[in-house]
Amino acid sequence: MKLWAIADATNIDAVEAVCRAGKSDVVIHLRDSSRTGKELLAVAERMSAIARAHGSKLMLGCAYEVGLRVKVDGFHGWKSPGKIGKRLFSAPVHDSDEVRRAIDRRADILLVSPIFATPGKGSARGLDALREARALAPNAKIYALGGVDASTARACIDAGADGIAAIRAIFSAPDPAEAAMALLRSMG
């Protein structure tokens, strides 16, 4: 799993194209607070089916009770139920205290952000944030999030990330599947 694609219900067609292109190198992270109940359940079921069909994984970052009804590979976020059985638990980390907190909660995966300038996400932390997270959490999977694109993805890997997480770099691209493949190629 090298590419963590953060999507909502508006991205379903693009999610399918990205999973088809990247297969087992892709994690889909469903994050959609605008939908609830049956509507969100239907989206989660659809994304779960897409992920399974292509060997990808699905993480849920909203309405965690939905994840108990749909086949998801794990949960993301501080408000999530955390580690449940064999399901993965990922946490957003914005400083070293959050890295330690995530490890204390047995997080499998850390989304370190913002690495580069990202609209509305505060000051960029730079590649040193990845190096620090790797030193504090040597056994966790670490993903670089925030302003990462094909021109900067390799630097993130070299700084200690296992992969990159993206929203705009994939879902704002004219061809999300090609954008995903460019990101995967750039990581090596």
CATH number of the domain enclosing 12: 3.20.20.70
Lowest mean pLDDT among 9-13, 70-74, 116-120: 116-120
Is 15 in contact with 41 (CB distance < 8 Å)?
Answer: no
- Would you place residue 134 in the very low, low, confident or very high pLDDT band (cuts 50, 70, 90)? very high
Residues of the domain holding 69:
3-187
Question: What does the chain come to in residues?
Answer: 188
Looking at the structure of the chain, the number of domains it has is 1
The pTM of the full predicted model, rounded to 2 decimals, is: 0.94
By C-alpha distance, which of 133, 186, 143 is closest to 163? Answer: 143
Lowest mean pLDDT among 25-34, 79-88, 167-176: 79-88
Whether the per-residue pLDDT at 113 is higher than 90: the answer is yes
